[in-house]
């Protein structure tokens, strides 16, 4: 039987930070208000595209795996914020990597996109149709923040994470995955006008997140809880058999409530939402990379993961970690940093959403 072991991993967190104190200069909020409700202290904002971020995360994952891009059969990009609908952004990543023989496609199930992508690529390896794949989660959600919405503009950040998976006969990688979608909950989290219908032919597109917090919280806990129960049963495991839990990083309260619901010790849960905020499809691979850097993942561990996103899509998986916890090599590829402050970076966005932040720009200080 084929398995799909994770053999490489990489991330890109843009260096430009928007702290909670920075946020309080734009909207009526505070560090205490934001942190107490979400667990967020800061978020990274990108000056480059979703594709550029995904490319660098993938380069670093390839280096960690010690394999050449030309040996990759498939590139999947999980994202809600592709730079174009047609052609797909995965093909940009594939071409920039030099993965000449690889197929490439985007997958959008909102925040669950990376986990859905890992499931799809793993099943393709198990079926024998491919042997090596890169699964990327990359998001530039800062472009869609409505600065007039105090309740939601602080929630999201930008970034990218990627893994390389390879065929193996050893039991490793995503052993069981569950993809689901909570019925009749689609409208509680969505971005109207973020797409082709209606087709916008003018420059006055106004994207504003519809965010119903209580309904999202309830549906997320229910959906992830049910998906977790399904994958544990499929593998004949209980929560006592799980060594580490890497959930979607949307809200600290959701993570804590979910851990309590499944009776899992919080000290064995990976939480990095304070550093990154909600990076949507990039959240789990970013958290996984940080857990590896911190030595939290050890050879042979049984790892639980779970996610939810707009739709409301849900999913969970049981990952058996292989023997590799240190990268074979490190990529020397880089993205040049943004020159200026976060207020310079977001100037056009502030203006678009009617926020007067001119006094914060470096050129006026």
Instruction: Let me know how many helices (H) and strands (E) the chain has, helices first.
Output: 11, 13
Buried b (16+ CB within 10 A) or exposed e, 47-78: bbbbbbbbbbbbbbbbbbbebebebbbbbbbb
Residue 45 in contact with residue 142, Cβ under 8 Å? Answer: yes
Q: Per the residue annotation, which of 248, 251, 289, 314 is the catalytic one?
A: 248
Q: Which two tokens stand for residue 130?
A: 């491919």
What is d(CA 166, CA 29) in angstroms, rounded to the nearest whole number? 46
Q: Is 267 exposed, middle or buried (0-12, 13-18, 19+ CB in 10 A)?
A: exposed
Q: Per the residue annotation, which of 44, 47, 108, 111 is the catalytic one?
A: 111
Q: Per the residue annotation, which of 119, 278, 289, 314 is the catalytic one?
A: 278
Find the angle CA(161)-CA(167)-CA(169) to the nearest 5 degrees.
130
Q: Where are the beta strands (DSSP E) in 184-312?
A: 189-190, 210-211, 244-247, 302-309
* CA–centroid distance for 130 within its chain: 24
What is d(CA 298, CA 277) in angstroms, rounded to the nearest whole number? 26
Residue 319 in contact with residue 152, Cβ under 8 Å? Answer: no
Quote the radius of gyration of the chain (alpha carbons, Å). Answer: 20
User: Token pair 């926020």 is at which residue?
Assistant: 355
| DSSP summary character for residue 199 | P
Instruction: Characterize the bridge pairing of strands 42-45 and 74-78.
Output: unpaired
Please confirm, yes or no, whether 278 is among the known catalytic residues.
Answer: yes
Please confirm, yes or no, whether 111 is among the known catalytic residues.
Answer: yes
What is d(CA 54, CA 213) in angstroms, rounded to the nearest whole number? 29
Chain length of the chain: 365
Residue 180 in contact with residue 223, Cβ under 8 Å? Answer: yes
**Which active-site residues does the annotation give?**
111, 248, 278
């Amino acid at each position: 039987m084929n398995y799909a072991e994770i053999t490489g991993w990489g991330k890109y967190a843009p260096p430009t930070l928007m702290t909670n104190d920075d946020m309080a200069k734009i909207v009526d909020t505070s560090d205490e208000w934001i942190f107490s409700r979400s667990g967020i202290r800061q978020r990274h904002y990108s000056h480059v595209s979703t594709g550029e971020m995904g490319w660098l995360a993938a380069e670093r994952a390839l280096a960690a795996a010690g394999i050449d891009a030309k040996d990759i059969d498939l590139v999947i990009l999980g994202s809600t914020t592709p730079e174009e609908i047609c052609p797909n952004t995965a093909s940009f990543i594939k071409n920039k990597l030099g993965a000449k023989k690889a197929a490439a496609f985007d997958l959008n199930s909102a925040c669950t996109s990376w986990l859905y992508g890992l499931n799809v690529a793993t099943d393709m390896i198990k079926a024998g149709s491919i042997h090596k794949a890169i699964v990327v989660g990359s998001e530039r959600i800062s472009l869609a923040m409505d600065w007039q919405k105090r309740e939601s503009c602080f929630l999201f950040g930008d970034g990218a994470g990627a893994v390389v998976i390879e065929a193996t006969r050893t039991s490793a990688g995503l052993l069981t995955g569950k993809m689901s979608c909570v019925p009749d909950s689609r409208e509680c989290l969505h971005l109207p006008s973020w797409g082709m219908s209606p087709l916008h032919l003018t420059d006055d597109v106004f994207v504003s997140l519809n965010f119903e917090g209580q309904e999202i919280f309830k549906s997320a806990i229910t959906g992830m809880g049910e998906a977790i129960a399904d994958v544990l049963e499929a593998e004949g495991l209980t929560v006592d058999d799980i060594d580490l839990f890497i959930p979607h990083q949307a809200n600290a309260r959701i993570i804590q409530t979910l851990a309590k619901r499944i009776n899992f010790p919080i000290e064995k849960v990976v939480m990095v939402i304070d550093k990154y905020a909600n990076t949507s499809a990039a959240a789990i691979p970013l958290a996984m990379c940080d857990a590896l850097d911190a030595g939290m993942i050890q050879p042979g561990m049984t790892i639980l993961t779970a996610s939810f996103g707009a739709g409301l899509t849900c999913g969970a998986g049981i990952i058996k970690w292989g023997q590799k916890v240190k990268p074979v090599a490190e990529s020397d590829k880089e993205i040049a940093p943004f020159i200026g402050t976060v207020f310079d970076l977001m100037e056009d966005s502030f203006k678009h959403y009617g926020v007067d932040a001119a006094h914060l720009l470096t050129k006026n200080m």
